[in-house]
Each structure stands twice: as C-alpha cells, then as structure tokens.
Amino acid sequence: MPWGPILALLASALFVYSCAREPAPDRGSVVLITLSGVRADAVGAAGGEAGRTPYLDEFAAEADWVGTAVLASSDPLPALGSLLTGVNPWKHQLLASEYPHRRRVLPTLAQILSNAGYHATARVPRSLRHPGYGLVAGFEHVRNPVSDEEAGAPEDAEFLWLHFPDADVAYRWRRERTKKPSSQSDPRLGLGRILAYADPRKPLPPALRDALLAFYRQGVTTVDRKLGALLGRMRRSGRWGDTLLVITASHGTELGEHGQILHGENLGRESIEVPVLIKLPAHCRRPLAEPTGGRIAQARLWATVVEAVGAEAAPVHEPSLFRRCRAPIVSELYLRNGINRFSLLAEDLQLHWTTRFAPPEPQYYQARRSATKGRRAVKRIFNRLERSFRQVPPLTGPPRPAAGAMPEIHLERWTEDGFERVDDPDRAATLAVELMRRWMQFLDGEHSPQRELRGEPPPTD
C-alpha cells in the first residue's frame, strides 16, 4: 500500500484507534447534537440575538463551556467529517458531496467509542448516509432524526449522534413553501427562486432578504423548541448528571452578507462561526482549560470527547479543550466554480485565500439549481470541473498558472457587528505563510487531489 505523504497522519490515527481502552464502570452516555444552519449570532448564549433561543440559553446556564466554534468548512459534509475525525478536510479527504472519498483508515468518533465498549446510534437524515461520506462509520444503528412524537433517545445508546435539520433554510422552504410563516414573509418563496442568488453576480433584493431572514428565524425558533423538549426528556431520564453532552452546528447560513445565500459558497463569518455548548459528566474530574466565552476550532471537539471518556488523541488531531491552544484556525472549501477557498483566522483577523483550478463555468449557478433533475448538460458542467480539480494542487494552484490564476488573498476583521475589510498587505503576506504551514502540517508536500487519493508521491519537476 502506498503511504505517500500521509504516513505520520495514518500511523497516528491508527495508534489512537488501537489504544482506546475500556472506560470506567461509572461511565455515562455521550450525546452529540448537531444543528443544521444555526450560526453563532442566532443563539443568545453565544453572543447573538437575545430571546430567540430560550432553551439553548437555559442549557447554557448549566453547561461547562459555552462559546463559538469556527468550522473546518462551510460545506456541511467536510465540516461534519472534521467534527467526527478531528482533522481538517484535506486530511480526511471528504472534500465535497461531489468528491466522497473520506479516508476510512481515520477512525471516527463512533469507532473510537465503540472500540472502548460504547453502543453507538446515529439519528441523522438520509442525506448524510452516503457510503462514500463515511460519516456513520462505527455506528451500530443508523435511523432517521428524532421526531416530535418520540419519547426520547434510545435507552441502549451509550453514544448518540442526533442531527436537527430544521434551521436549515432550504429544508424549511421545501417543507413549507406554500405556507406563510409570518406576516413579513413571501408565501411564494421557493427553493428554485432563491437559489439564483447563490450567484454573487446577482444582488439579493432587500425585500427577499427580509423574507429569507423571517424563514431563518422561524427555523431557529423551531429547532430550539424541539431541542428544549429533548433536553427536558434527558433531564428526567435519571442519566442527566453522568451524560457528556455537546451541542454545535454543522454549518452556518449566509443571508447576503458576502453577496450570496445559504452555505457552502464561501468562507464568510456567517457561514463558519457556530455555537458550541458542552456539559461534562459529573464523574469527569478534569477541567476544561479553554476559558468559556471564547472561540475554538470545531474539530477540537473530537479530541475533547475522546479524552473525556479516557481514550487518547494523537498529535495529528486538533487538540482538545482540556489544553489551551491559540493556534490560528484553518477552514477549507473545495470544488466550487473553478476555485478552492481557504481561510485562516488569527484572533479576529481572517485571511481569505482563493485558488483557481479551472476557468469559471458561466452556467455553474444555474446548473446547481438544476442538479437534482439529472440533466445531461448539468452533469457535463460538474464533470468538467471535477476533472480539472483532480489534476491541480488545491492550495497553490497550477505549477504554471495562466494569467490571473495566481492565488488571491484579502483580509477581513471580525467585529461586534460582523466584519470589515482590512487593507494591510504585509500582514496578509505573513498570514498567508502561516496558512500554508498549517495546511501542510503532517504532510511531506502538496499533491493534486488525484495523487492524494491514490497515495502517490508529489511530482519532482
């Protein structure tokens, strides 16, 4: 088997997987809850709008850590891959829904806990169960999300992953596009209509943004209510005190802040900053080292859970919250309209890095709107992009780039009100070097996606 540039990565991961040990007899349950589309400023306890999430805010009062996290990607599939493996997308290789090649040698959280004797159940929608994604690897039972009519979590699930899709704006449109959620919303609002504004060349009309915001707020309120009912059942179960509970989100939601909508189109703050709430079990005597109210890389939650149950994390994984870490946070977004996007967040300063791997497709955004219809012309567009993507190093771009194909960088500062552009070329250059260093960590060189997938060494020319 060709190990290629990831020898240290794979060896460390296998070591962790083999070293997971039988936990103490007094272990409790581990529950991971992911919320689809809930951005940080939607949750009052995470510094957002007060009063919209009363149940999450109530839970925050008894949680051991409350703050925000920066996702490994604004695309929920790579972001969930990082949450469940503890490494960034390029290392786990679930880069996009069109590129489902997650490295199976990397153990998921469920595999680590199952190896330690936990019974694992996932309650997630079918969209997350594609075999190539590998997100449900290690779970003994995989079922649909928890419904309003169910009494609560399965009694035999010692590790439970629950996914709530209700705050995902697109989901609400599909489900209630003929209903009017509030007097400020357009009852004719439909997914096909609003997806046109994923194209940054098409400005989002203010009236439509107001309608989107109304739908989004309704979605957040709905998921908070459902979560409140679930938390109430968990408190009454008799196992609350010994439960390790982590609540976070799989992606944020853009409502025009960077000229686009939904998620997975760029790495703006509204798409990658999400809430995190952690409650440790009563028998956990090890305190969290990160101060509450801070901002972390979401991928650090993997090692946090692993170490909380008595297993070990390797250096290749993002460090747990049981240790302080001030390292800049890297986010990645692959295989969009001829470009890959990268981000480095150092304190409140964010570097945006864009690399072009193919000329833009003029009909790309129209094709995305029609992708579910299986049209031949649509498939041709995505196939052309994927063929180019496979051949080009994702971070630095083509070895001999054409005019205008060099990576582009710019800075933004995260502020109390959102973000602002920053003009500081020297600082941008310094952060660009740090981004390359962080992205290359544990690798012996940059490969094209095709070479990385095959485990081939990088070219010598």
Residue 73 CB partners (closer than 8 Å, separation 6+): 79, 82, 89, 264, 267, 272, 331, 332, 333
Contact between residue 33 and residue 162 where contact means Cβ atoms under 8 Å apart: yes
Encoding tokens for residue 397? 């771009």
Length of the chain as a residue count: 461
Q: Check: pTM over 0.85? Answer yes or no.
A: yes
- pLDDT single digits (tens) 330-380: 999 999 999 999 999 999 999 999 999 999 998 888 887 766 555 777 888
CA distances from 189 to 72, 186, 200, 233 (A): 31, 5, 19, 35
Residue 180 has a pLDDT of 46
432 sits in which H/E element: helix 425-440
Quick one: which of 21, 67, 29, 24 has its CA closest to 300?
67
Residue 246 has a pLDDT of 98
Quick one: which of 265, 351, 302, 350 has its CA closest to 74?
265
In the chain the domains, ranked by start, together with CATH numbers, are 4-326 (3.40.720.10), 333-454 (no CATH)
Encoding tokens for residue 248? 């976070």
Contact between residue 66 and residue 277 where contact means Cβ atoms under 8 Å apart: yes
275 sits in which H/E element: strand 273-279
CA distances from 288 to 8, 43, 185, 246 (A): 28, 22, 43, 13
Contact between residue 36 and residue 222 where contact means Cβ atoms under 8 Å apart: no
- Taking the C-alpha atoms of residue 255 and residue 182, their distance in angstroms, rounded to an integer, is 18
Contact between residue 69 and residue 295 where contact means Cβ atoms under 8 Å apart: yes
Residues with pLDDT less than 70, the chain: 1-26, 148-157, 168-192, 370-374, 400-405, 456-461
**Alpha-helical segments (H) within 68-166:** 76-85, 89-92, 109-115
CA distances from 372 to 149, 196, 201 (A): 30, 15, 23
Residue 371 has a pLDDT of 60
- Taking the C-alpha atoms of residue 335 and residue 388, their distance in angstroms, rounded to an integer, is 9
Sign, Cα dihedral of 254, 346, 405, 420: positive
Encoding tokens for residue 278? 């952690």
Quick one: which of 260, 244, 274 has its CA closest to 212?
260
Burial 247-273 (b: 16+ CB within 10 A, else e): bbbbbbbbbbbbbbbbbbbbbbbbbbb
Helix (H, G, I), strand (E, B) or coil at 84: helix
Q: Identify any residues that bridge with 331 across adjacent strands, giving them in sequence order.
A: 343
- pLDDT single digits (tens) 382-439: 899 999 999 999 999 987 655 456 799 999 999 998 999 999 999 999 999 999 999 9
| Torsion angle of the four alpha carbons 244, 250, 256, 260, in this order, in degrees rounded to the nearest 10 | 170
